A and B are shown apart, each in its own frame.
Chain A
Amino acid sequence: MAAADIPAPTERLVKAQALVRKRWLKSRYGLVAPAIVIVGVFGILPLMIMVIYSFLKAGDYGGVQWIGSVEAYVSFLFQRDIFDGTLSFSSDYLEIYIRSILLAVMTTVFCLALGFPTAYFMATRPLSQRTAWVFLITIPFWSNLLVRTLAVMLIIRDEGVVNDVLRWFGLIDKPIIMLYTDFAVMLGLLYSFLPFMVLPIYASLEKMDFRLVEAGFDLYATRGRVLRRIIIPLAKPGIVAGCLLVFIPAIGAYVTPLILGGGKHLMIGALIALQFGSSRNWPLGSAQALILMAGVLVALLFYVRSSTGKAQTLHG
């Protein structure tokens, strides 16, 4: 079969091929269109409308007035005096943002500290036990977040199980107040998002070739060194994915601070919801949501860069 045996494509053949390709493309677009239209109209269009809203003036009773304004972004950092309209620096919103970022970072760190050993332990079990472990971690992953948060609330209440047990042992005589504190929010976030850390790290460790660990030991590495120099670098894609899966929902968390923070300790999520609820300042809420979205995009970009960087070191 030499190339010379194949006749040169005639004009008719080229036309036919173009027609086949066109129909093929049409079928692709036809199949993907319903999903794109639904997500586009009811998922992306609302985000665009929010961008427009953030540059409008707030209506007196909620909603917006169709007058252009950057007031929403200005009031993020400054407070306008009601009487003379002068601007003065105000850190109220900024503090809530910094609090949320700190809480989200701490949640991510604690999730990693607990999640990595768990994922490693799971990945080193025999196959049959591994399935059971994955199943046990998967159930909380998909269970109702509101119900799980309520469960935490019920046990850390003043008259909850934790305080009852401590009192029963005579360790305390007055209940320790845990609910509606930063500790409660932190614990709730950790509890909510721990499975999001374990599963991606497990997925990357399960695929790991343990002969590399064996090689490390052959070269007289200690256990700690093998962990630092071989296992953790190999698990890095899973670790980065896990951190992202914890950080993004944690920074925008709404349910956890609502139930465990008791409205006193606001986080970004509650702040945004507040602008659309009782504060009736939709442009400000939209602007705050967009600032949060920008933060998330930065985190995603960091993820994309770190994962492509990984691929380069592997192949190059």
Chain B
Amino acid sequence: MAEQTLTAGTDLPAITRSRGNRPRKALDLKYQPGFGTVAVCCLVMLYAPILVLAIFSFTAGDSITRWGGFGIRWYVTAIQNEGFHHAALTTLKITITATIVSTLVATAAALATTRTRRWPGQTAAFMVINLPLMVPEIITAVASLSFFALLASVLHINFGLGNLILVHTVFCIPFAYLPIKARLEDMDLTLEQAAADLYATPWMAFRRVTLPLLMPGISAGAALAFIVSFDDFTITQLVAGPGQTTLPLFIWDHTRLPLTPEINAMSTILLGVSIVFVTLSFVIARRRRK
């Protein structure tokens, strides 16, 4: 598919190419005036604020906007902050549990809804699984809040941190489901059929053939579920009970104190975690295409 698009524009006769093998703008079919400038502006706009944020996390001074020399003192302050530790621990408990549970159920659901004859209720199941993507976050947040308040007042059930874990699991499921489903759709059934011909039981065929082939999709889905849960602010803020402070909530609480570069340091750490997981998911997804 990609090669086909390339040949249409770049394999033009030599006349369209000037110095350095670059197509001359006037004769380049794909050229649209000003689009490159807009693209570069977008990139600058997207990265300038976070770069400024990250740069000022390395200041040695007390101001978040005046450079005070290079230093890592604010990272030291952040890492030694008790509240930050506690928030990191809470976040990891929620995120890891939500990631594992959502990835497991999403894998099962993807296996049931892909590469199969249609079964009654399949479309409905697909819509239910993807529903959390359609509902604005704030609505999920207040609905969950009402739900858990009702559980607590009528049935006297309170899962504690479990409340947050359950809500996170719900909105992680579609993010884990979609990459796994995409990967399954790329796999044909011939290998499983070959395994069956060689007298593998369905379980063995799954364990030895399907699962290893599906692993990149599962990892990419798990990485996305992890980021989505790790970064969530809106839903967590409304559902969280007292003492259930996650990292984004901790940073938010900090913005109401006098601003110091400590907030830059903590934010940069959070960005770093997101970037690592996006890169992982990206690399895994790229590799599968080759």
Contact = CB atoms under 8 A, between A and B. Distances in A.
B125 A32 contact: yes
B282 A135 contact: yes
Interface stretch (B78-86, B104-112, B188-196): B104-112
A43 B131 contact: yes
Interface string B163-190: 0001101110100010000000000000
A191 B46 contact: yes
B146 A144 contact: no
B42 A198 contact: yes
Contacts of B104: 34
Contacts of A251: 136
A141 B36 CA distance: 20
Contacts of B170: 38-39, 42-43
Given A114-B38, A159-B65, A49 B146 contact: yes
B109 A35 contact: yes
A155 interface: yes
Interface string B125-165: 10011011011111111111111011001000000000000
B168 to A, nearest CB: 10
9 contacts: A25-B119, A34-B109, A63-B153, A114-B38, A118-B43, A122-B39, A142-B277, A217-B29, A276-B145
Interface stretch (B2-10, B68-76, B209-217): B2-10
Contacts, number: 279
Nearest to A144: B231
B34 A35 contact: no
B52 A49 contact: no
A141 B142 CA distance: 24
B135, B144, B150, B251: most-surrounded residue (chain A CB, <10 A): B135
B153 A127 contact: no
Interface stretch (A85-93, A206-214, A307-315): A206-214
A38 B116 contact: no
Contacts of A213: 8-9, 29-30
Given A143-B275, A160-B65, A152 B49 contact: yes
B44 to A, nearest CB: 11
A226 to B, nearest CB: 8
Contacts of A157: 65
Interface string A283-315: 001100100110010001000000000000000
Given A154-B53, A161-B52, A143 B143 contact: no
A155 B49 contact: yes
Chain B interface, >50% SS class:
helix
Interface residues of B, number: 100
Interface residues of A, number: 94
A249 B137 contact: yes
A147 B5 contact: no
A230 B1 CA distance: 19
B147 A31 contact: no
Nearest to B138: A269
B204 interface: no
A233 interface: no
A121 B35 contact: yes
Interface string B1-22: 1101110111000000000000
Interface stretch (A5-13, A73-81, A252-260): A252-260
B89 interface: no
Interface string A134-156: 01111111111111101110110
B194 to A, nearest CB: 20
Contacts of A139: 274-275, 278
Contacts of A191: 45-46, 49
A44 B125 CA distance: 13
Contacts of A282: 146
B38 A121 contact: yes
Nearest to A122: B39
Interface string B223-261: 010011011011000100000000010011001000100
Contacts of B259: 154
Contacts of B87: none
Contact of B146 (A44, A195, A286): A286
B200 interface: no
B113 interface: yes
Contact of B224 (A114, A122, A142, A293): A142
